[in-house]
Structure 1
Amino acid sequence: MTTIILIITGVLTALVAGLFYAYSCSVVLGLGKLQDIEYLKAMQSINREILNPVFFLSFMGTAIMLPVCTFLYRAHSPVFILLLLATIIYLVGVFGVTMMGNVPLNDQLDQFNIGEATTDAVKKMRGVFENKWNYLNMIRTLCSTMSIILVICACIWAKTE
């Protein structure tokens, strides 16, 4: 049963890493080419639509399954250490950065009324939002990638035990 839980944890972690990687190497680049109003409208739409059960299952599921998996492998030193590192990196660098950084930015953008804003206000909002959000997303991308690498290493190590 612990092997199945480890595999599920790996899949969830990979899904989250893939999401942030796809954003970093395609979505962010494409959105960056849009005019200010279109950019803000697109980000508002994306930020609203991502709040769905499929996203929550993978994002929150990883935050739950990594600690559970780490606990289950507590008697297997190398696997435990790999999973513990993956858990810490995910909880701080992905979950924490999202909750403390990206979500407040998304909320701020969601409350911004584009239709009633002046051109200068739109430009200012984009300036406040875009670079910081992209920087935080880069952190999430790197941390989720490190987490999945560590989970893969734990899977390989667990197989040899």
Structure 2
Amino acid sequence: MISHVVFVLIFAAAIGCGLVAGIFFAFSSFVMAALGRLPSDHGIAAMNAINVTVINPGFFLAFFGTAALCLAASAGVALRWTATSGTLVLLASVIYLVGCIGVTMLRNVPLNNALTAVTLGTPEGTALWTRYLSEWTMWNTVRAVAPVLSAILFTAALL
């Protein structure tokens, strides 16, 4: 049996995963396509502006707060282990932490840094933008799918 506190942690983690999934889904499904329709210099400038603007308390609360909830829920089920719920919570947490936090740090942030460093109006800038649109969106899609799977697993753990 899951304690009330752990239940709330798992429920909040599921909600957080859904919120983060929605953010990443929007980028993969239409924001990046819209930016790709712009001339490369404009697309790069817009994405760089987004990458600066995303560093804000609301996004950080959703993104890193959900990671903290994953860790807290995992600790909670570890204290009162039940095979099914515990396994689902741990799996959901690992998927979120690797698929969102890990992919962000290892894939999306380096691409963002390269985009920030490129000189606008150069062939290198145009080439990077073309590659960026494809690679960044692919890794962002991983970041969208991971929290959806985590939300499903957290919900299943509650049932």
Same fold (TM over 0.5): yes
- 1:65 aligned residue (48, 62, 69): 69
TM-score of the pair, normalised by structure 2: 0.89
Matched, 1:125 2:128: yes
The residue aligned with 1:56 is 60
- Paired with 2:70 and 2:57, the residues of 1 have a C-alpha distance of 19
2:92 pairs with 1:89 = no
Q: Distance in 1 between matches of 2:118 and 2:135?
A: 17
1:65 shift after superposition: 1.1
Give the percent of matched residue pairs that are identical in Structure 1 and Structure 2: 33
Report matched runs for 1:1-161 at 5 Å: 1-74=5-78, 75-114=81-120, 117-118=121-122, 120-156=123-159
The amino acid of 2:91's aligned partner reads L
The whole-number CA distance in structure 1 between the counterparts of 2:104 and 2:115 is: 15
CA deviation profile, 1:17-60 (whole Å, cap 9, x unmatched) = 11111111121221122121111111111111111111111111
SS of residue paired to 2:139: helix
CA-CA distance at 1:12 after TM superposition: 1.3
RMSD: 1.4
Residue identity in the other structure for 2:101: F
The Cα offsets for residues 128-155 of structure 1, whole Å up to 9 and x where unpaired, read as 3221111111111111211111111112
Q: Distance in 2 between matches of 1:128 and 1:27?
A: 16
Query: 1:86 is matched by which residue type in structure 2?
Result: A
Structure 2: how far apart are the matches of 1:123 and 1:148? 37
Instruction: Provide the secondary structure at the position in 2 that maps to 1:124.
Output: helix
Q: CA deviation at 1:104?
A: 1.0
CA distance in 2, matches of 1:65, 1:137: 21
CA distance in 2: counterparts of 1:22 and 1:129, whole angstroms = 17
Tell me the TM-score normalised to structure 1 length.
0.88
Q: Could you list the runs of 5+ residues in structure 1 that have no partner in the other structure?
A: 157-161
Structure 1 letter corresponding to 2:157: A
